[in-house]
Structure 1
Amino acid sequence: MISLPFSLEQLPVSSADESLHRIMQDRPGLVPVLLGDADVFSVEWAECVDEFEDPDAILAEAGTIDVDEWFAARRPELAHAEAEMEGSLKRFNAIWRVLILPYDALVLPVRLLRWAVTGTRPALLSSTPFDIGPLGDDAPQPASTVETLKAQLAELEFSGEGSDEELREIRDVIGAIETEGTGHRIYPDPIDYLTPRHGDTLAAGLIATDAPWKSAAWLQHGTYATSVPKPVLVAHCRWLWEKYGARIITASTDHLGFEVTRPPETEEEAREILSRFFVLCADEVNAENRGTDGSSLVGVSRWWVWWD
């Protein structure tokens, strides 16, 4: 196993947020990043990092990158690649639809019975492996999270597959959303995302550097570190820090969590942030995908960015 390039410190789960900010305030020159359970993180590091690249070399190269120019140059390439991919997926889906029709005809009576019992209209045709919905203003809009959860709850109750605890949790989530008006998107707080469900401590990596954005050069155990050149990710983090005061506070193999002191005030700004993350191969940002409006970033001080 490659030795960790920074020290770890155990923080109590019950006060992880406060402890993180206390380190930021009281220990200048150290950038703390929460990494989850220390044992799990150590295993992830051993499995994912075959060669640790020199952070100073990454930072030096990042300093030569104009991120505005870099992203502007990649967008046409990305659009062309996505158009080609969409065409291929549509052809595959058409073949799949023909092959699956006998199955859909067989299970149609069951789906109609479920509709009558639950009152929720099911999909009468099986979804294709790569669903590509119609685009434009007239495209059907996705159901809200509450509607989706209610449909799932009804299905579990009807089938008898859900335990009492699972059903209670779903009802509690539905009630919280309806009471608090959290809208149609649910996404985790980045600290909650990696907090161990069993255990009292969280591991914080203490990275010795003079600016929060530079910590990205040390975080080489995640999908984000292999999806794009590491200097580009670091340069992007520099842009986020300088423009929005966004600093990395959590990291795992599939996500980075940011705390933001000057979040975007308009959806136009938010869509630009989304676009840049998606060019960096991220799959979700605060549960938003390609083509969404960016509203979950406007005025929001925590971002959860996920790579599949």
Structure 2
Amino acid sequence: MASRDLALGIFFLSQTALGMLGNSVLLCCFIIADLSGIRAKPTDAIVKHLTWANFIVLCRGIPQTIAAFTQTYYLHNVSCKLVLYFHRVGRGVSLGSTSLLSVFQAITISPSNSKWSQLKVRTPRIIGPSLGLCWALQLLLYVFVPVYATDTWNGGNVTGIKDFGYCVFKKSGRLFNTFIVIILASNDVIFLGLMMLASVYMVFILLKHKQRAQHIHRSQSPRSSPETRATQSILTLVSSFVLFYATSIVFSSYLSVLEGTIKWLSNTGMAMSACFPAFCPFLLIRHYASFFRLFCTCFYQTAHCACVVREL
């Protein structure tokens, strides 16, 4: 085995294992919250869908890792179609869920006298249909993937294929391929734009609130204000989100219009598409880590913990 393949296998293995661990811990936070009677916020449903979508994206790292280590690992035809299809769907849902989370958080913290105030009451009823629409859109958008994905044996004699090591993707016509690239890139760019706009709005609201309450913070301890910490969290999440997904969009679009396969480019695109699902839970766990403290407090103070409102 070449040292390059060994390093690639170790990277994919570490990325997949770390991402699975982080998303599992995040799901455990929700399970503990439900068992302890904590009332969930409406946006928690979005985070749950985001976590499951991250799992789906990271699952592709398993055959990618095995293929890097063994060099002789191939999936069957049906397995290839399912792996590539649900990876793309999971990536789209992860992207859409993160954007929805930002939009609904922006609506939640908007001032009561703003034009978004009327949506606050309707938010719990909107989140469910929005998530369903997001899943339906991604399932329909990538319906072409099973048509062109196949195993290496069926695609071995086809010219112009894209080889992923364990599966291949047959090339379609140039006009159809260009159309697909435009549609998929537009889908990703719209979600990215929504998140950036919502995040900028949240930062603006938080900074405005900080200016109003500045005289209160001066009389308190010198640690940073809640608004500053919230702003830093938003900027960290948005920066990592935009960096990873914008890079992934560029690689995906370029690989789609490229004839044949450049191995290192394909592996880099795969790695970048899994970066945010792998590191996203660790950014969110900071908000939900208080579940553990709250659960332990309830457990030790009383045998029956009353319903507690989640303050996050």
**What's the TM-score, normalizing by structure 2?**
0.24
Select the structure that is richer in strand.
1
* TM value normalised by structure 1: 0.24
The structure whose residues are more often helix, as a share, is 2
